[in-house]
Structure 1
Amino acid sequence: MADTSPPERKRDKGKKPRGKKSKPRPPAKDSRPSGDRQEAEQAMPKAWRRPPHKQFRQAYAAIDLGTNNCRLLIARPSGENFVVIDAFSRVVRLGEGIAQTNRLSDIAMDRAVGALKICAEKLRRRNVHLARSVATEACRRADNGAEFIQRVKDETGIVLDVISAQEEARLAVLGCHILLEDGLGPAMIFDIGGGSTELVLIEPGGPVPRILDWQSVPWGVVSLTETVGEELPGADARAERYARMRQLVADSFADFAKRVAPARAPDLRLLGTSGTVTTLASLHLDLPQYDRKAVDGLIVPSDSMRDISQRLSTMSPRERRKLPCIGNERADLVVGGCAILETILDIWPAPRLGVADRGIREGILRSLITSDTEGVEAQAALHKLKRGKA
């Protein structure tokens, strides 16, 4: 996998240091320290921390368990950026059926736990110093979400932090805003997930953009697809189904659309992070298979994304499955993503759309590395001050 920051493109091969072989270590856990250390680190996010030791201060990890995907990134700091040394992604469809039952199914939980066991093994092998694992809409919504979180802890050692929609939006912005086009005035960043979609109006500038307004709606590619119901054959039936999807999303964003309308300027900028936008960008480029290097940071004409969305909405599932970069995993969900994307383009009609294959995981990593560095520097300054007084 390529690095998450443009200046850094080399992969660390993860070679083991020479010396005596160490004993196998238990899976890395995300539990916070207790006692005095907990008080000293109360400003840090919920995260697992390995005991301080110079050889463990290299790798940081972020796990994002969404409604549709389970994703992991492990990285090492490199100047102001970081270099990815390991990654993992798997479609688990944790939120499958939740629109009808409000519960996570046993099969979906089994899939997610299986993926998280792989993540736990990678954390152990990479000697991760600091990690944060988050869960989003499916676990926020499910009646048995807390039971699932406990099961994950028991079986994998990973402590999932069920974050709010606001925190989800903040992390997505932090992870991808550097790909935003230069320009004047506010810009819009969006994240189409499996169970929800976040729209964030920002004022770019500085290392962290200022959030002016934001909105999260409970429509993602899984929740919208399941709520609208099964796809029926025939062009008219598909068109009607797509229109209903568009209307549901538009109604949910109606108040937000009115609030942000005055912020529209001639220099409209829009950046999206999601499987929907990366898939459509791949179709725009006519790629034979997905290529992150070709897609991440791409600027696409919005009209092209609309054309692709409308074309996909009229295809049968079988026709969509034959398209490169869609296949079986996305054939039934991509139409919901298209409906959400077109609605966003109605709300913020930018002429071009920026595409980001990065988001929450990268936002977590930047938060962890920044907070950890600041903590180390503060401890060093305090130690120096105490020595001066001695």
Structure 2
Amino acid sequence: MADNPPPDLKTGAGEKRGKTSGTVADFRYKRPSQPDRKDPARQSSKTARGRVATPGEPRRFGTDGRGYRQAYAALDLGTNNCRLLIARPSGENFTVIDAFSRVVKLGEDLAATGKLSDAAMERTMAALHICAEKLRKRNVHLARSVATEACRRASNGPDFIARVREETGIALDIISAQEEARLAVLGCHILLESGIGPAVIFDIGGGSTELVLIEPGGPVPRILDWMSVPFGVVSLTDSVPPPDGTQEGRNRRYAEMRRLVDESFAPFAERVRPAAEEAETIRLLGTSGTVTTLASLHLELPQYDRQAVDGLIVPSDSMRDICRRLSTISERERRSVPCIGDDRANLVVAGCAILESIMDLWPAPKLGVADRGIREGILRSLIAADVQGEEGRASLARQRGGGL
């Protein structure tokens, strides 16, 4: 459903790194210059069917001149992945008409160097060129493209953003951790299990993890508290030395990951403890590659199936068992596990450590799984903002024409 944008978040304990932004930006890209052989004024006044529009006439929201629904796009450039969704409004929801996802490892070696590496930037540029081509082909009406923790932390992040704009036309917005948390909640909260009282929604990313305490109800939940920590599956993996190849070494490494994450989450855990103790039902919803991968293992899927995973409710004990099992086997063994493969074999252990820490601080008996998040949140925000804008312009046009 196209929800109204949620209210601003409370100031949380997470440190703000990078530019705070809640703006909606039109997608811009470069078109080859072509001579205009027609009257520009008359050309702009015609619809695709050749009808001359009345000056000031508002267009029907969500349609182009031929009556087709307009396309909207959301691009999320994270520390590990580059993801794009293109969709059209469909009643209170939207229908995805194109999508793209690629592991780019933009944050590779960032913890050690403080910079985006040349190799990581080249991988990411290749993916973004594909995204730009999809946006052109789909004739996107309105889009928002965001970059998260890797670009927030990297000293050369702003330079990379400028390069992306120059070479692809995509205007990436480095959003704050606060905005990242808001968009994640907006994108997945409709999957939250029914119940009374507050709940926690979390997003385990590549470079950071966001935790949000919400009060469900209304079109969007009310945000009570939030926190962002600079540990995601990539940054936590890079922060702890690799194991020595022994079972004992793997155990030590996992324990160290848990310690680092527990310490980072401690202020939030302290603040939400009273809510957890008083809640009639403790509900937990996660959006990330970690939770969707572990849910796939819970279902014993031979390969990933979004329809089976998105919206699934899994016993927390089952997720803990899977976390502990994965943390004890070697990376080579993890590569052979269905739904993990090469891309996640080295990162999933860090995701398990983060997930277990979250389940400790908010001990829900079950975990909701969402294969949706920031991109869906962006799409809902774009569509809602465009609806409001069109309604306002239509109202103004009616008033000028002697209407209401």
- For residue 46 of structure 1, the aligned residue among 4, 25, 36 is 25
- For residue 306 of structure 1, the aligned residue among 295, 316, 320 is 320
Structure number with the bigger relative contact order (C-alpha 8 A, sep ≥ 6) is 2
Deviations 1:84-107 (A, max 9, x none): 000000000000000000000000
Give the alignment of 1:295-374 within 5 angstroms.
295-374=309-388
User: 8 Å contact 2:28–2:169 — kept in the other structure?
Assistant: no
Aligned to 2:389: 375
User: 8 Å contact 1:189–1:270 — kept in the other structure?
Assistant: yes
Aligned to 1:252: 264
Q: For 2:27, give the aligned amino acid.
A: W
- Normalising by structure 2, report the TM-score: 0.84
Point out the more displaced range, 337-346 or 258-267: 258-267
Once the two structures are TM-superposed, the CA of residue 389 in structure 1 deviates from its matched residue by 7.4
User: 8 Å contact 1:57–1:129 — kept in the other structure?
Assistant: no
Unaligned runs of 5+ in 1: 6-41
For these two proteins, the number of residue pairs brought into alignment is: 351
Deviations 1:118-142 (A, max 9, x none): 0000001111000000000000000
Distance 1:78 1:330 in 2: 34
Aligned to 2:101: 89
User: 8 Å contact 1:44–1:371 — kept in the other structure?
Assistant: no
Q: In structure 1, the residue corresponding to 2:136 is in which secondary structure? A: helix
Distance 1:43 1:96 in 2: 27
Q: For 1:191, give the aligned amino acid.
A: D
Distance 2:316 2:324 in 1: 12
Distance 2:249 2:326 in 1: 14
- For residue 283 of structure 2, the aligned residue among 255, 258, 269 is 269
Deviations 1:190-236 (A, max 9, x none): 00000000000000011111100000000000000001022321111
Aligned to 1:197: 209
Give the alignment of 1:15-30 within 5 angstroms.
none
Identity of aligned residues (%): 72
Once the two structures are TM-superposed, the CA of residue 57 in structure 1 deviates from its matched residue by 5.6
Distance 1:238 1:176 in 2: 34
Distance 1:49 1:380 in 2: 25
Aligned to 2:34: none
Once the two structures are TM-superposed, the CA of residue 48 in structure 1 deviates from its matched residue by 2.6
- For residue 248 of structure 2, the aligned residue among 213, 232, 236 is 236
Q: In structure 2, the residue corresponding to 1:294 is in which secondary structure? A: helix
Distance 1:110 1:362 in 2: 27
Residue 126 to residue 330, structure 1, CA distance change in 2 (3 Å): same
User: 8 Å contact 2:242–2:253 — kept in the other structure?
Assistant: no
Aligned to 2:184: 172
Q: For 1:281, give the aligned amino acid.
A: A
Residue 43 to residue 333, structure 1, CA distance change in 2 (3 Å): closer
Once the two structures are TM-superposed, the CA of residue 110 in structure 1 deviates from its matched residue by 0.4
Q: For the aligned residues, what is the CA RMSD?
A: 1.8
Aligned to 2:123: 111
Q: In structure 2, the residue corresponding to 1:146 is in which secondary structure? A: helix
User: 8 Å contact 1:49–1:129 — kept in the other structure?
Assistant: no
Distance 1:362 1:389 in 2: 36
User: 8 Å contact 2:76–2:84 — kept in the other structure?
Assistant: yes
Residue 44 to residue 192, structure 1, CA distance change in 2 (3 Å): closer
Distance 2:22 2:352 in 1: 39
Q: In structure 1, the residue corresponding to 2:401 is in which secondary structure? A: helix
Residue 389 to residue 311, structure 1, CA distance change in 2 (3 Å): closer
Larger radius of gyration: 2
- For residue 127 of structure 1, the aligned residue among 118, 134, 139 is 139
Q: In structure 2, the residue corresponding to 1:191 is in which secondary structure? A: strand
Q: In structure 2, the residue corresponding to 1:48 is in which secondary structure? A: coil
- Normalising by structure 1, report the TM-score: 0.87
Q: For 1:350, give the aligned amino acid.
A: A
Residue 114 to residue 382, structure 1, CA distance change in 2 (3 Å): same
Unaligned runs of 5+ in 2: 3-20, 30-43, 45-58
Answering whether residue 161 of structure 2 is matched by residue 149 of structure 1, we say yes
Aligned to 1:9: none
Aligned to 2:53: none
Aligned to 2:227: 215
Residue 353 to residue 336, structure 1, CA distance change in 2 (3 Å): same
Once the two structures are TM-superposed, the CA of residue 44 in structure 1 deviates from its matched residue by 5.4
Deviations 1:247-281 (A, max 9, x none): 10110110110001111113000000000000000
Distance 1:43 1:234 in 2: 47
Distance 1:43 1:331 in 2: 35
Aligned to 2:11: none
